[in-house]
Amino acid sequence: MEHVPVSHLAEVPVVVVHDKLFSGTRWTDPITTGVLEVTSPATNAVVGRVAETTIEDVDEMISQARDSFESGIWRTTPPVERGAVIGRVADLIEERQAEICQILSDEMGTPPGTAAMIQVTPTLGVLRYYAGLGAGFPWTEVRHGDFGPSVVSRQPVGVVAAVTAWNVPLYLNAAKLGPALLSGSSVVLKPSSATPLSALWLADLFREAGLPEGVLSVVTGPSAVGDHLVSHPEIDKISFTGSTEVGKHIAGIAAQNLKRCSLELGGKSAAIILEDADVAGNAGSIVFSALMNSGQACVSQNRILAPRSRYDEVVKALVETVQLMPVGDPAAEGTVFGPLANHKQKASVEGYIRKGVEEGATIAYGGGQVEGLPDAVAGGAFVQPTVFTDVDNSMTIAQEEIFGPVMQVIAYDTVDEAVQIANDSEFGLAGAIYSADPDAALAVAQRVRTGTMGINWYAFDPTAPFGGFKNSGLGRENGTEGLEAYCELQSVLMPFGWEPSSD
């Protein structure tokens, strides 16, 4: 995809400029000349400008999505062929990985190597999974019951409003577009206004891969146009990833209009270290799972539950591991932690650190300003990774989602107490158990009220359902369950004695 600078938008050099909207799988002129600026949280420099979507533009995008759906141009395409388009997008991403990693680094401050690991790799996995599922999914089946045979088919849900967060934008967008498009639905995607560049880049790959006109649009605008999108009467399904507060707002809109709705929301997950765990050998995994993406991950397991008998050992191992992970310029080789997404998030995380101290927790490491930053990024939104000890699970830092590089180490005496502490949360999204006995760890994991768990590490697989209990959301992504979320079930009762044709 070529990014051609447009003189009337570019007063200073920028990485990417889009003066057109991605509307109906085409680049089109916007109604107004409004511009959305994208700023690097590392350098505070403008790294992109995109045309701002108005409510009138959104109406046109939804109209194109509805027309494309009703025409059948995509939904009547055989699922295997729909999957092939998705597979071609994965191939294009792999070919252009360096390009997208740089875009992600520019718009959200993540080091390119981190972007490759936590965004590109899972994006390729989820897209290729759904590409292959086109042939293996039970789109139609025959069930024999008391009243004869019924043909049960899975039909596309219709026009989807997909709304995503800023923390891992490439993956979040792909995790919605893969199953939604495989179902045969048309999609209007609303990425965060902080990360539109990666969304437009990805959408253009779908155009290049052969997605028909009208099927996909990208809304680049503020929350007001997002509200208009999700409340529009022509939207059949809302799929949202973001904060629990906004998720509740969207759920209310969906309930008023009886729209199908999936919500992937926040978390405050726990990593339980059992007595027999290899603490030294697992310290890297524990820290990575707690602080990945500078702690800006809904699945972050930043509540570290340590047996009291090994508490000091656990704290020492975690601090020593964090000390080996450089914080700084995302463009510099070896940087592990870049800045947070913006200065508002930085201020929020620093507020939580102060709150932890006020409520009696002890800072074992971090808690201050990042020192020694080069001049180019000295004003960036950096927060020093912080490890708290002497934490009670009732403290604010142990109950609220911080969304920053802050770990809380909590002592427990028995496994029953560890499970109780892990479950003492309004969230239930992720978690991990560390033990020398995987079977024993599995038994503990199944007592924790959370949607995903790992044993001696954490990841989520594209073949397995992902989502949360309690305030962590509604519904599931990934796996066949993720595709089912974009399907409507239709049952057709056939006459007695009917058998399906062999065609």
> Among residues 246, 243, 245, 241, which one has the least CA distance to residue 263?
241
Strand, coil or helix: what is 132? helix
- State both tokens at 228: 């208009």
Distance CA 21, CA 33 (A): 11
* Angle between the N-to-C axes of helices 438-445 and 415-423, in degrees from 0 to 180, rounded to the nearest 10: 40
Q: One of 298, 401, 477, 487 is an active-site residue; which one?
A: 298
| Whether residue 298 lies in the annotated active site | yes
> Among residues 111, 41, 47, which one has the least CA distance to residue 379?
41
> 């830092």: which residue's tokens?
397
Strand, coil or helix: what is 86? helix
The number of C-alpha atoms within 13 Å of 20 and in the hemisphere containing its C-beta is: 15
Q: Are 244 and 474 in contact (CB under 8 A)?
A: no
> For residue 11, which amino acid is it?
E
Decide the pairing of beta strands 260-264 and 473-474: antiparallel
Strand, coil or helix: what is 283? helix
Q: Count the neighbouring beta carbons within 10 Å of the beta carbon of residue 409.
A: 26
Greatest Cα pair distance, the chain, in angstroms, is 79
> Among residues 140, 137, 180, 139, which one has the least CA distance to residue 157?
180
Decide the pairing of beta strands 27-28 and 21-22: antiparallel
Q: CA 311, 340, 105: angle at the middle one, nearest 5?
A: 120
Q: One of 52, 60, 264, 477 is an active-site residue; which one?
A: 264
Distance CA 246, CA 228 (A): 14
Adjacent-strand bridge partners of 362: 389
Distance CA 387, CA 389 (A): 7
| Whether residue 261 lies in the annotated active site | no
Strand, coil or helix: what is 470? strand
> 């529009």: which residue's tokens?
232
Q: Which helix (H) or strand (E) holds 64?
A: helix 55-71
> Which residues are CB-neighbours of 172 under 8 A, at least 6 positions away?
164, 165, 241
Q: Are 160 and 237 in contact (CB under 8 A)?
A: yes
Question: Residues in the chain, how many?
Answer: 503
- State both tokens at 461: 């697989």
Distance CA 271, CA 286 (A): 7
Sign of the dihedral defined by the CA atoms of residues 222, 223, 229, 233, in that order:
negative
Active-site residues, by number, are 264, 298
